[in-house]
Chain A
Amino acid sequence: MRPVVISGAGMIPFERRDEDSLIDMLSMAGLKAMDDAGFGERPVDALYVGNMASGLFNHQVSVASAVVDRLNLLPAAADRIENGPASGGSAVKNGFLAVASGYADAVLVIGGEKMREVIGPRATDIVACMTHPQAEYIYGVTLPAMAGMFAQVYMDKYGVTPEHLAMVSIKNQDNGILNPYAHIQMKITMEGILTHPQAHINNPVVADPLHLYDCCPVSDGAAAVLLTTQELAKELGRPIVEIAGVAQATDTHTLQERQDPTDLKAVTIASQKAFSMAGLEPSDIDVVELHDAFTILEIAESEHAGFFAKGEGAKAVEAGETQIGGSLPINTSGGLKARGHPVGATGVAQIVDLTWQLRGEAGERQVEDAANGFSLNFGGFGNNVLAFVLRRLS
């Protein structure tokens, strides 16, 4: 395989974007990545668009064909990649494979979702369509409900407390304030969301034991990366960040068929494979983006990915290790909690944020001298997971 590098990275602010269509958002992010690379009029060989549910959210399909036209990447190959909340990660993986195999020299990967076109309960229902139609969906299960059932047993088994979950939420919202692309720009406190007798008014239960501030918001947004060969990247002259490891693993569709419901096997397998491919260890990583659609997931993923032993992730949060300035900063972007989670965008946005970190372009949230990064994009409820290891080459 040929080395694959990120030559350009771009994102539009995640928020409620009533003025923009999904195609507008995807196209703006794509152009930002190309301009960031200084790509000019050079040809793009292929476009991959990560998007989960444009047909349901926006009544539009074949979105890759629309974007390739809008950006005049014609006659580039164009595909939409759908893999639930890991659509963005899957799109990056496919872009990687195209360049690594020699099939393409320059691939534009864009992830995006426009979710606020529908009202909240409708968005909840659309997202719940990824669950098993007969064994799960008919009961009214939601993704927060899946996370609630996971949290119930995980917290009990590993001594994770509501305070630990709130610490993750507070940290990620603090980081979001430093990120101009983050949807949620609001300082919260332990008193305001947990310890005050009336904190439940600010922070009601969504799916017990998870509260509002344990859940990511519903957002519109898009992010993009331009993947190229190393030769082309040198010609462009931007700092070179390599995709050193990429791996994907799956698990049972339903939660109930896992022998141990607290074991996120696909996270462990994908992470181990990505580290192995990169020839790096978790201890080599300087900055991490995890899929904190729910606060419990940041803690559980940090353990399953190999950064902490089982049961130690919450202690690391408590000790401040995962803050910017700590020994392993996690979700410096604000994560899904604060940046937002337009589902198809997330896997790409994580890689954009890491690229900025590894280039030293992350502004106030910069991790000093970050050379290696890791991201995890968690699809379904852990049934389809992608892990990436990024490395700064220059």
Chain B
Amino acid sequence: MSTITAYKCVNCGQVMYPHHLRCLNCKGREFEEIEPKGKGVLKTYTIVNELPWGIDERGRILGVVEFENGVRALAMIKADKVKIGMKLVPGWEPVRVIGGVKTQGLVMRPAKHSG
């Protein structure tokens, strides 16, 4: 499955997403490319009714998730009920049409056996 690429500092181990040329912690310049691992825990979220031009919908859920290897990312959440701390599994799906092109992004759904 396609997904985001995160970065782990070779010097200090700091996990970052998106990309930086210098580590946010130690200013190191060497990184190992990593993928989000395992389930994501929802850290915060919002339900957006007023979306920008080009997204013809209401009630899109956006949230910050933290994966088991420390990768944190903003993602679209597809769930009937949403709660901080819930466990989600990642998918890679169209999230927005930009310039006529369907752009793929992280889409998280509730884990079947949450907890």
Which one, A124, A125, A145, contacts B62 given CB within 8 A?
A145
Q: Which of B24, B53, B54, B98 contacts A252 (CB 8 A)?
A: B24
Interface-located stretch among A62-70, A172-180, A203-211, A237-245: A203-211
Chain B residues whose C-beta falls within 8 Å of the C-beta of A132 in the assembled complex: 18
A204 to B50, CA, bound (A): 10
Contact A149 B95 (CB under 8 A): no
- Which residues in B have their C-beta under 8 angstroms from that of A254? 18, 74
0 or 1 for each of A135-160: is its CB under 8 Å from B? (1 = yes): 11011111011001110110010000
> From residue 77 to 99 of chain B, which have CB atoms closer than 8 A to chain A?
84, 95-96, 98
Q: Which residues of B contact A135 (CB under 8 A)?
A: 4, 17-18, 73-74
Q: Is B16's CB within 8 Å of the partner chain A?
A: yes
Q: Is the CB of A208 within 8 A of B46?
A: yes
Q: CA separation between A36 and B79, bound complex, in Å? A: 57
Of the candidates A138, A144, A156, A255, the one whose C-beta lies within 8 Å of that of B103 is A138
| Of listed A119, A140, A208, residue having the most chain B CB within 10 A | A140
A119 to B60, CA, bound (A): 21
1/0 per residue, CB under 8 A from B, across A230-273: the answer is 00000000000000000000001111110001000000000000
Summed over the interface, the residue pairs from A and B with CB atoms below 8 Å come to a total of 111
Instruction: Evaluate contact between B64 and A139: CB separation under 8 angstroms.
Output: no
- 8 Å CB contact of B47 from A134, A141, A208: A208
- CA A210 to CA B49, docked complex, whole Å: 10
Least CB separation from B72: chain A residue: A256
Q: Are A205 and B18 interface neighbours, CB within 8 A?
A: no
Q: Does A40 contact B (CB under 8 A)?
A: no
Neighbouring A residues of B63 by C-beta, 8 Å: 149
Overall SS of chain B's interface:
strand
In A370-387, the 8 Å CB interface with B consists of: none
Given contacts A138-B103, A139-B95, A256-B74, are A149 and B62 in contact (CB under 8 A)?
A: yes
Bound Cα distance from A261 to B64, whole angstroms: 10
* Chain B 31-53 interface mask (CB, 8 Å, partner A; 1/0): 00000000000011111111111
Q: Is the CB of A139 within 8 A of B96?
A: yes
Q: Which residues of B contact A149 (CB under 8 A)?
A: 44-46, 62-64
Please state if B16 and A257 are interface contacts (CB–CB under 8 Å): yes
A102 to B24, CA, bound (A): 36
Q: Is A128 an interface residue (CB 8 A)?
A: yes
In the bound assembly, the distance between CA atoms of A207 and B50 in angstroms comes to 7
- Do A134 and B51 touch across chains, with their CB atoms under 8 A apart? no
Contact at A255–B50, with CB atoms within 8 Å?
no
Whole-angstrom CA separation of A374 from B114 in the bound complex: 48
| CB of A251 to closest CB in B, whole Å | 11
Whole-angstrom distance between the Cβ of A227 and the nearest chain B Cβ: 35
Instruction: Check B28 for interface membership: any CB of A closer than 8 A.
Output: no
The B-contacting residues of A in range 30-61, CB under 8 angstroms, are none
Closest Cβ of chain B: how far from A139's Cβ, in Å?
5
Q: Which residues of A contact B51 (CB under 8 A)?
A: 121, 124, 140, 142
- Given A122, A148, A204, A257, which contacts B48 in the complex, CB threshold below 8 Å? A148
Give min CB distance, B59 to chain A, whole Å: 9
Contact: A145 with B48, CB < 8 Å?
yes
Asked if B9 CB lies within 8 Å of chain A CBs, one says no
B66, closest chain A residue (CB): A256
Give min CB distance, B9 to chain A, whole Å: 13
Please give the distance in Å from A116's CB to the nearest CB on chain B: 15
Contact residues in A for B103 (Cβ distance below 8 Å): 138
Residue contact B16 to A207, C-beta cutoff 8 Å:
no
User: Besides the contacts A122-B52, A207-B49, what 20 more A-B pairs have beta carbons closer than 8 Å?
Assistant: A124-B51, A125-B53, A132-B18, A135-B4, A138-B96, A139-B76, A139-B95, A140-B48, A140-B76, A141-B74, A149-B45, A149-B62, A149-B64, A153-B43, A206-B50, A208-B46, A256-B74, A257-B24, A261-B43, A261-B44
Query: Could you pull out 8 A-B pairs where Cβ atoms are within 8 angstroms?
Result: A138-B96, A138-B103, A139-B74, A140-B55, A140-B95, A141-B48, A149-B44, A149-B63
